[in-house]
A and B are shown apart, each in its own frame.
Chain A
Amino acid sequence: MIASPAVAPTLTSADVERIAALAHLELTAEEKALFTRQLADILAYAEQVQAVDTSGVPATAHVLAERTEREDELQPSLPREEALANAPDPAPEAGLFRVPRVIT
């Protein structure tokens, strides 16, 4: 929808609400107002990367050149009770993490 490299010139409060929903953040009204302004500033500053000619330049996702495959072998893993020990609502007798009802 938005053609590169032209980028939305301003960030609206609706954008911030959309991003917050994507990021699973329930922001307060003050946070929404603050982030709208601050993120717009930061994005305006970051806009300068558009000036760089990157035609034909590959992207760097990470800097390592080494291959890191290994054999897919069974290894010991965390015992269930230790895995549950930090859960906010564990069900140790069932060996499960309890969450609010998902299907209503």
Chain B
Amino acid sequence: MLDASARAIRDEIARGRATAVNVCRTFLDRIEAVNPSLNAFTLVAADRALARAADIDRRRAAGEPLGPLAGVPVAVKDNLCVRGVRTTASSRMLERFVPPYHATVVERLEAAGAVIVGKTNCDEFAMGSSNENSAFGPVRNPWATDRTPGGSSGGSAAAVAARCVPMALGSDTGGSIRQPAAFCGVVGLKPTYGRVSRYGLLAFASSLDQIGPIARNAADAALALAVLAGTDPADATSSRQPVPDFPSALSGDVTGLRLGVPRAVVSEGVDADVRRAFEAALDTLRRAGVALVDVELPHAKYAVPVYYLVATAEASSNLARYDGVRFGYRARAETEHDVKQMYSRTRDEGFGPEVKRRIMLGTYVLSAGYYDAYYLKAQQVRTLLRSDYQQAFESVDVVAMPTSPIPPFRLGEKTADPLQMYLADVFTVSANLAGLPAISIPCGFVERSEQPERSERLERLPVGLQLTGRMFDESTLLRMADAYERLTDWTRQAPSGPGVI
């Protein structure tokens, strides 16, 4: 049961071979068993989940129609609002925030019959690449608990990898779905900007943020995207593009598809073992009939600086709302008459270091005298990066890169140097800047010693392959991901380290 796909669970329940309540109990037990060692959840909503599951069973007994995710346990990143369920964005600022409304994606999941079992830990306000910026402590990687699960949707990826849920929601502003999916050996899809409504997502950088699924295979990601996608009157940036039947795109046939490889981009700074796994994945796809084509992305080398200028500028504006007045934490000023000091203390005490760092950077690049040199310049280079992709997509259907240049690193390894942490986002941020859909799928493992000086034990760490597609062409990404899965067995492997079993 724990290894079953979302699709299989839904079918078992629909056919009456399992009850939603029993499925829910099984996964809740699993969460209880492994979460103490992983810290993947900030909240488990067991009673609410069991009541929802009982409702699915009642509907089935009454012969009512069941949705495409009926009875499927799903975890939701803790920056997505669930009405009546504490939503913190892993920040002290929102420690006691209980949303009065659902995010549109939550509305859609529940309308499809999904059973939300809890909220997953993440980097504070989704700012980070290691999940170490959470006010509730880091999440641990189920494959090696001394290492990061990636971030910022580290809790969602770890929960899916550790079989706590077959499927979870994440959000992705610069790689926050794909990089943790890669680090945890699962599938993570960032849809096209505008494909999924952002209503009810606690905003980080509004021109980059997208919500998407984390699952254990491409078919479940397709199933989830079909539920999540579509226009929403509550989000003016949600697109009115028609939503294709994503699951039916998974034909298994990739013959004739052209896969672009930006050789210059992936030639530098990539871990040798990650590179080997990447090249082997390309070879597997080539043997399946995919044509490999060299492409140029001349401005990709500027993606990280452009991203950190644009994203922090938007963040500094979005996070201005946390002022201790309408919701969230409030600090006390020295006198009762100092509203300005109340604001600034609230923000100093309520936000963690990385959030403050980004607010500071964003405020700086938007400030008088620096706007043109940093923010405007970054937006112009963003245009050039988009053009690079448009040009590449004239000769290829999909672009391939490793999701991360390095395998999962140790907790604490990069916390002292934020710039080093940012550089690890080199392959993921472009898709957000260009608005393109991108998926990370497992493509192998690397071995690393547990403690170089003290232990001979080898840790087996997942590697992710990232596929980026044309605007609104998630179907081709999912088709290629699914075809690759059928030729390999990476997605069928499960972590078995201490603390997981």
Contact with B along A70-81 (1 / 0, CB 8 A): 100000001000
Which one of B337, B363, B381 lies within 8 Å of A104 (CB-CB)? B337
Expressed in whole angstroms, the Cα–Cα distance for A22 and B344 within the complex equals: 10
CB distance from A98 to the nearest CB of B (A): 9
Does B382 lie within 8 Å of A59, measured CB to CB? yes
Q: Are A68 and B237 in contact (CB under 8 A)?
A: yes
What residues on A are CB-neighbors of B338 within 8 Å?
100
Within 8 A of A (CB), among B343-361: 343-345, 347-348, 351, 353, 356-357, 359-361
Decide yes or no: A52 and B372 within 8 Å by CB, A25-B359, A57-B384, A66-B240 being known contacts. Answer: no
Q: Which of A70-101 contact B (CB under 8 A)?
A: 70, 78, 82-83, 85-89, 97, 99-101
Near B by CB (< 8 A), chain A positions 38-83 give 38-39, 41-43, 45-50, 52, 54, 57-64, 66, 68, 70, 78, 82-83
Q: Pick the contact of A100 from B233, B339, B374, B382 — CB < 8 Å? A: B339
Contact B367 A19, beta carbon cutoff 8 Å: yes
B35 CB, nearest partner CB in chain A, Å? 26
What is the CB-to-nearest-CB distance from A49 to chain B, in angstroms, rounded to a whole number?
5
- Secondary structure at the A interface, as helix, strand, loop or mixed, is loop
Q: Which of A7, A16, A59, A100 contacts B370 (CB 8 A)?
A: A7
A16, A64, A83, A100, most chain B CB atoms within 10 A: A100
Residue from the list B368, B373, B384 in contact with A5, Cβ < 8 A: B373
Interface stretch (choices B42-50, B95-103, B116-124): B95-103
Select from chain A the residue with minimum beta-carbon distance to B194: A64
The prevalent SS among residues of B at the interface is helix
A-contact bits for B306-322, CB 8 A (1 contact / 0 none) = 10110000001000100
B409 located at the interface, meaning its Cβ lies under 8 Å from any Cβ of chain A in the complex: no
Classify chain A: how many residues form its interface, as a range.
Answer: 35 or more
Of the listed stretches B267-275, B325-333, B444-452, chain A binds B325-333
Q: A5-B373, A100-B339, A104-B337 are in contact. Are A49 and B361 (CB under 8 A)?
A: no
Tell whether B399 is near chain A: CB-to-CB under 8 Å. no
Please give the distance in Å from A88's CB to the nearest CB on chain B. Answer: 4
Find out whether the CB atom of B435 lies under 8 angstroms from the CB atom of A26: no
B206 to chain A: which residues have CB within 8 Å? 62
Q: Is A26 touching B347 in the complex (CB atoms < 8 A)?
A: yes
B412-425: CB near A (< 8 Å → 1, else 0) gives: 00000011001000
In the bound assembly, the distance between CA atoms of A89 and B333 in angstroms comes to: 14
A4-B372, A49-B381, A66-B240 as given contacts; A42 in contact with B100, CB under 8 Å? no
Chain A contacts of B237 at CB under 8 A?
62, 64, 68
B200 to chain A, nearest CB (A): 13
Q: Which residues of A contact B309 (CB under 8 A)?
A: 46, 49
Residues of chain A lying within 8 A (CB to CB) of residue B435: 62-64
Instruction: Tell me whether A87 and B325 are in contact (CB under 8 A).
Output: yes
- The smallest C-beta distance from B101 to any residue of chain A, in angstroms, reads 7
Q: Contact between B418 and A27 (Cβ–Cβ < 8 Å)?
A: no
Q: A7 — nearest CB in chain B belongs to which residue?
A: B373
Q: Are B348 and A88 touching (Cβ within 8 A)?
A: no
Is B383 in contact with A16, judged by CB distance below 8 angstroms? Answer: no
The listed residue (B101, B193, B351, B384) touching A54 by CB distance below 8 A is B384
B419 adjacent to A41 (CB under 8 Å): yes
* 25 contacting pairs across A/B (C-beta < 8 A): A1-B369, A22-B367, A23-B363, A24-B323, A24-B344, A25-B356, A26-B347, A35-B356, A38-B418, A39-B364, A43-B374, A45-B305, A45-B419, A47-B305, A49-B378, A50-B377, A54-B377, A54-B384, A57-B381, A57-B383, A57-B384, A63-B194, A63-B207, A66-B194, A99-B342
